Amino acid sequence: MTWTAVARKDFEDAIRSRWVAGLSALFVLLVSAAAYLVRPAPGRTISSNQVLNSLLVRDALVTTLVPLIALIVAYNAIVGERESGSLKLLLSLPHSRADVVFGKVFGRAGAIAAPIGVGFLLPAAILLVVPAVNFDAISYVGYTLLTAILGVVFVSIAVGFSTAASSSRRAVAGAIGIYFLFVPLWGAVRFPLRLYLGMGGGPGWLPLTGQQVLRMLRLINPTGSFKIVSNAFLQGSLYTGGSVNMQVSATLMLLVWILVPPLLGLLWFQEADL
């Protein structure tokens, strides 16, 4: 019995959840509506990449809705079982605490990847039958996978927080705080800061220029790193053109967000008294 057994059971439990079913249906409807609304004007032709890269799909849906779905799916992964008492039963089997944490990450990652895959399936059918859209299957599948990675990032953050939280109430509060920090508040703070730094201001106590500070803030936010990678991918210049250093840094930052929160949660979990 290893983390794979934990992941399999957790995926099966999560995928049967009414929350996952409802959010999957919502995601399918919204992405399909977006694909329809971004259709070309009469007499014009657009590519499926332009549809995916539109503000409606990229910002209004992917970077707003996917983190929310992931946090809802995963915020209760560990602390819920801890409060119900089933965590002690799980650990009485031949599972280590690391098996439980990473099994939960993989199980909930599969649970978020499934609705994302389904969510992009119907819009693909819509784009295929619209004659004025040039459908790029490779780019479409690649963008779907990148969106799933964004979901996995927020699953890892939520599982890490759930591992360290002492109650479901705190896990809920943490999930809400994480969402508002990275989605609406980050942009609200970054906008005036960009104006200030763009006018020549800057932190004199830091060995960084204003532009370097802005790039760092963009990279730290998982949605910002996702946009850097996905934009370059849809433009066909990922790691080959544009700002390659930013693209590599954004990719590494996404990997950091996937690995570090569960590891930090595990450090606390190893010493926790259940």
What's residue 262's pLDDT?
94
- Distance, C-alpha 223 to centroid of its chain: 7
| 65, 27 Cβ separation under 8 angstroms | yes
Q: Which of 20-34, 144-158, 167-181, 186-200 has the highest mean pLDDT?
A: 144-158
What's residue 248's pLDDT?
95
Taking residue 86's Cβ as centre, other Cβ atoms within 10 Å add up to: 11
What's residue 166's pLDDT?
82
Confidence of residue 274 (pLDDT cuts 50, 70, 90): low
Inform me whether the pLDDT recorded for 221 exceeds 60: yes
Inform me whether the pLDDT recorded for 195 exceeds 80: no
* Amino acid present at 142: G
Domain that holds residue 205: 3-271
Higher local confidence (pLDDT), 123 or 102: 102
Output 251-256 pairs: Cβ under 8 A, ≥24 positions apart: 251/225, 253/219, 253/220, 253/222, 253/225, 254/149, 254/150, 254/153, 254/222, 254/225, 254/226, 254/229
pLDDT tens digit string along 171-189? 999 999 999 999 888 877 7
What's residue 2's pLDDT?
81
Inform me whether the pLDDT recorded for 165 exceeds 80: yes
pLDDT tens digit string along 63-80? 888 999 899 889 988 988
Inform me whether the pLDDT recorded for 227 exceeds 60: yes
Inform me whether the pLDDT recorded for 124 exceeds 80: yes
Higher local confidence (pLDDT), 153 or 125: 153
Inform me whether the pLDDT recorded for 200 exceeds 60: no
Domain count, the chain: 1
What's residue 110's pLDDT?
93
Inform me whether the pLDDT recorded for 38 exceeds 90: no
What's the pTM?
0.90
Confidence of residue 242 (pLDDT cuts 50, 70, 90): confident
98 CB contacts (<8 Å, ≥6 apart)? 3, 266
E strand or H helix at 206, and its extent? Answer: none
In the chain, the percentage of residues whose pLDDT exceeds 90 is 32
* Lookup: tokens for 87: 């965590």
Inform me whether the pLDDT recorded for 56 exceeds 60: no
